[in-house]
A and B are shown apart, each in its own frame.
Chain A
Amino acid sequence: MTDRNDQDRDDLAERRRNKLKLLHFDKDGKHLVESEKPAETFADVGGLEDVKKKIRMNFILPLKQPELFAAYGKEAGGSLLLYGPPGCGKTFLARAVAGEIQANFMHIELQAILGMYVGQSENNLHDIFEKARENKPCVIFIDELDAMGGSRNQMRQHHDRVLVNQLLMELDGLRASNDQVFVIGATNTPWYLDSALRRPGRFNHMIFVPPPEENERSTILQLKLDGKPLGRLDLAKIAKETRHFSGADLEQIVKDAVESALEKAYETGDIQPISQDDLRKAAKQRKATTLDWFATAKNYATFSDVNQDFQIVLEYMKTNGIK
């Protein structure tokens, strides 16, 4: 019975994946092109249960059971803002959302929108939103939202302000006439976001994506070490010693350990497995890069959080002993 259910789920996931599109601009930045489909689903995201639950409530369930949400006066659609320290899986999570929803997936990379002629960025942004409306249901993922939708007051150049205004217009357009178009924004610096972007109907669901917990760190290390020559490893111990490390930090530790093993291999002439000692030394040499982020976030949460948006960060810091 369970096998049958698993089989059905796999088939469903496969069918959903077939409907996914990743759209971005071509190298000349002139045309939208379709590229490879993201294969990730929530099952690939280790931990982050609260985050996944919130996304399910705001994105997945309204799409699957619109009548239930309509009964409570809630429509499908809306926007979600993922924020947190860099390298903690915001982008990966957004890609996984695409694997969970029977929808197209459009990834707006800042590099693709900008770096062109003045005035063209707004057109590009509009084109992407238009494309999303044509391809409903659709998830638009805007990475580095702070750069695109930063505080208009701090923007000296006129064309930057125009781009933010364009983004606001597109988000309002979504609210007014389009259901089943979902926007996910990601940023490391939510405090630079224009407050206008956080009004109802725009990015009104803010979700904090924290660094991985101990068991998640162990899983990440396992994944990063996969396929490499390994000695006897106690990854749980390394995970315990790498408190507050981000996924990117852990990847760096594995890279350092690989280099150390390679060095030994050069010296001995034989393939040397990555040992516990290699990993431990690499971990000791690195510092959690998330701590700088938390220091900045704490300042914003303590002194500048008029709407109490970042109190969750303070609570997380308190719970996890980050000073």
Chain B
Amino acid sequence: MRETEANSQRYSRIYQLMQWRKYKEASEEAMKLIREEPEEPDAFALMGHISLRMSNCGQALHWSDEALRRDPEHSLAWFVRTNAYYDMQNWPAAKEAIGHAQRFDPYEPHYYFLLSNISNRNGKFAEAKEYLLKGLDIAPENALYLANLSYIEALLRNKAESKLLSAEALRLGTEEDHVYLYLAWAAEQRGEYDEGMNLLKDAIRLDPDNKQIREEFLEALQKSYKLYRILLWPGKQLRKMKPWQVLICWIVLWLVFRPFVLVFIILYGITHWVTKLLVHVKVFGWTRRRS
């Protein structure tokens, strides 16, 4: 009895360390648990979870594998596995792992969120929306899912719906950096650049150490220059086309408007680098920055 209590305190302590982002200390504690209880799948799964938080996907896969060898239905191990494949952008493996995970943990909404993001990346917006709605059935007040849905609605050109969802997500997730990030994308899709910029400012204030948010913020600052936005427009249209359509477009444009295409490319290149430089000076001053 006392041993069980002590063990439970140790697990709580590890979770506490993870919450404080003290992952190194958490992994040391988890390793101690593994050494003491080499047949306990929980300790292996937890170690996988810590590795995932440390962005060490290879290690996360290794530890989740060890946990699943001891308990093939271990829900945390499957959770770690799906997220590791997702972070590695190995979409087929992520989808396969999610399929397994959902068999043991059908009410975990995060799996629908991941599936939705994968569909979104592949340009299947309607499918992405369907997945997200399933996730929201389980967790209707999840601000991140609502923000993502707002973005998908914007991609599907349902601007009014996107705006409504955006307001709801903001009401529920005022302290979540990723909520602001998705809402900024949604605002940009709706053509509301100033709103998008404001949302990104909030996102970066909450987590300036997040590389993706930093890059998005700097890009948004670049896009605040109107000329650059105008020059981006054709590229944006091309992205909506299939690869073969893009190729035909380029060939036709090249044959019919060759000088115009050349001028456009040069103008785009100059505007891109000049606005990038202006943004850099505005944010960092006249210094070189390590990425």
Residues on A lying within 8 angstroms of B by beta carbon are 114-115, 146-147, 150, 153-157, 160, 189, 192, 295-296, 299-300, 302-304, 306, 318, 323
Chain B residues with CB under 8 A of A156: 19
B191-235 residues with Cβ-Cβ distance < 8 A to A are 204-206, 208-209, 214, 217
Interface size on B, residues (CB 8 A): 21
A-B contact pairs, 15 of them (CB 8 A): A114-B16, A146-B20, A147-B20, A147-B22, A153-B175, A155-B19, A156-B19, A192-B21, A296-B209, A300-B209, A302-B283, A304-B204, A304-B208, A323-B288, A323-B290
> Does B4 interact with chain A (Cβ within 8 Å)?
no
Q: Contact: A303 with B22, CB < 8 Å?
A: no
The reply to whether the CB of B284 lies closer than 8 angstroms to some CB of chain A is yes
- Sort A-B residue pairs by CB-CB distance and give the 3 closest, nearest first: A303-B208, A299-B208, A304-B208
Would you call B7 an interface residue if the criterion is a C-beta within 8 Å of the partner chain's C-beta atoms? no
| CB pair B205 A302 closer than 8 Å | no
Over the window 243-285 of chain B, the binary record of Cβ atoms lying under 8 Å from chain A Cβ atoms (1 yes, 0 no) is 0000000000000000000000000000000000000000110
Contact A323 B205 (CB under 8 A): no
Contact B208–A302 (Cβ < 8 Å):
yes
> Chain B's nearest CB lies how many Å from the CB of A61?
35
**How far is the CB of A1 from the nearest CB of chain B, in Å?**
52
Interface residues of B in 16-33 (CB under 8 A from A): 16, 19-22
CA distance A114 to B209 in the complex (A): 28
Set B19, B21, B175, B289: member contacting A323, Cβ < 8 A: B289
Q: Are A303 and B289 in contact (CB under 8 A)?
A: no
Residues of B within 8 A of A300 (CB): 208-209
Q: Which residues of chain A are within 8 angstroms of B217 by Cβ–Cβ distance? A: 303
CA of A189 to CA of B209, assembled, Å: 12
The residue on B at minimum CB distance from A156 is B19
Q: Which residues of A contact B175 (CB under 8 A)?
A: 153-154
Tell which of A114, A192, A299, A318 touches B287, judged by Cβ atoms closer than 8 Å: A318
CB of B13 within 8 Å of the partner chain: yes
In angstroms, Cα B90 to Cα A126, docked, is 51
Q: How far is the CA of A150 from the CA of B206 in the complex (A)?
A: 14
**Candidates A150, A153, A303, A304; contact of B20 at CB < 8 Å:** A150
CA A79 to CA B289, docked complex, whole Å: 35
Residues of B within 8 A of A153 (CB): 175
**Chain A nearest Cβ from B272, distance in angstroms:** 22
Whether B288 contacts A115 by the Cβ 8 Å rule is no
For residue A295, which residues in chain B have a CB less than 8 angstroms away from its CB?
290
Q: List residues of chain A with CB within 8 A of the CB of B22.
A: 147
Measured between alpha carbons, how far is A318 from B206 in the docked complex, in Å?
25
How far is B284's CA from A295's CA once the two chains are assembled, in angstroms? 13
* B9 adjacent to chain A (CB < 8 Å): yes
* A302 with B13: CB separation less than 8 A: no
Bound CA span A300–B207, Å: 8
